[in-house]
Amino acid sequence: MKFKNSAVLLSVMFVITMLGITLAMSSNTELGPSYLASLIVHPELLVISVIIVLGQTLTDGIVGYTSLAATDRQHIPKRAIIAITLLSNTAGISMPGPAKTPARVYLQNKLVNIPYNVSILGLTIETIFAYAVLLPTTILTTLIWLPKHIETDWSKISVHWWLIALACILTIILIVLILVKKMNIKTKIHALGTFFRSNSAYPTVWKNILYTLVFTIVIYALGVLRLASVSEALGGDLSFGLYTSIFMLSRIAGIASMMPMGLGARDASLVGLFVFVDIPLDLSIAIAAIERLLLIAPHFLTGPIAIKYLKNYKPSKKVT
């Protein structure tokens, strides 16, 4: 399939997805624009959240480049890789599962002549750092800030609820084990270790690895700031640590759901977590709704720009 046809298909799917979400929200009085507008206390914070999400989106594109540059291949075009990352992220909001990964690998090969194994290595580096930041931060912030809101007498919880919780934990462990086997994660980690050992003397590799780590932290920090800005704009008042815990937990729920951008699971977990920390239900729903719009809206801008740039792009040299 030619790139022009692929771009048209991605654009059509993106527009259909956006129309569906918009119609669903406008048809529900509890999520409609007039209802959301009535809850806004500090509109200037919503403007700040829009700026933050644009910065977050562009930083995501930069991470796409730095993780690929960390493979120590020559002639990797910075702007083209950033554009491909942004375009593949657009694909990720309109397709179930991790659609942006195969889209990115395919486009990098067809448009920039990057071998599939190099793209996969770059994505592996990016994914490792993403989870290296996500998981420890989630655990630490949850253990430090969430327990303050737990006043449950655990001795009064019936046995069947403990069994349900145990079943959920075992199910999560099983899913992780299946993913490890299906995705050949052990093989990828072994290949990554071999790569690092063979390139340990090259400062360029470690420089781009450091950039990938730093920009990954920036992406998560901007996400927390965005969530805090939306919540504060609607009158919420929580600590930054609590916002961090809520953001990270909802992100994990979205990833586990395998839906486009965690649609449904991330939103429900946001509402549940905000209610859990004593934010009113209507306010929690409004925060989740605006967060969803902010997650999708930037792709109206970055997607078309990336398509326009890549349609006119011609690789000058083959990646080696």
pLDDT tens digit sequence for 139-194? 888 888 877 766 555 555 555 556 665 666 666 566 555 555 555 555 555 555 55
Instruction: Specify if 78 maps to a domain.
Output: yes
pLDDT tens digit sequence for 258-290? 777 777 788 888 988 898 888 888 888 889 989
Q: Which residue has the higher pLDDT, 102 or 196?
A: 102
Number of structural domains found in the chain: 1
Instruction: Specify if 20 maps to a domain.
Output: no
What are the backbone angles phi and psi of residue 32, rounded to the nearest 5°? -70, 160
| Torsion angle in degrees (nearest 10) through CA of 114, 118, 124, 127 | -20
Instruction: Specify if 9 maps to a domain.
Output: yes
Task: Pick the closest to residue 98 from 5, 214, 179 (CA basis).
Answer: 179
Instruction: Specify if 27 maps to a domain.
Output: no
Instruction: Specify if 320 maps to a domain.
Output: no
Per-residue buried b or exposed e for 78-91, using 16+ beta carbons within 10 Å of the residue's own CB: eebbbbbbbbbbbb
- What whole-number distance in Å separates Cα of residue 154 and Cα of residue 238? 25
Q: Structural domain of residue 209, as residue ranges?
A: 3-15+40-150+159-311
Instruction: Specify if 305 maps to a domain.
Output: yes
**Confidence band (pLDDT; 50, 70, 90) for 211?**
very high
Percent of the chain with pLDDT over 90: 22
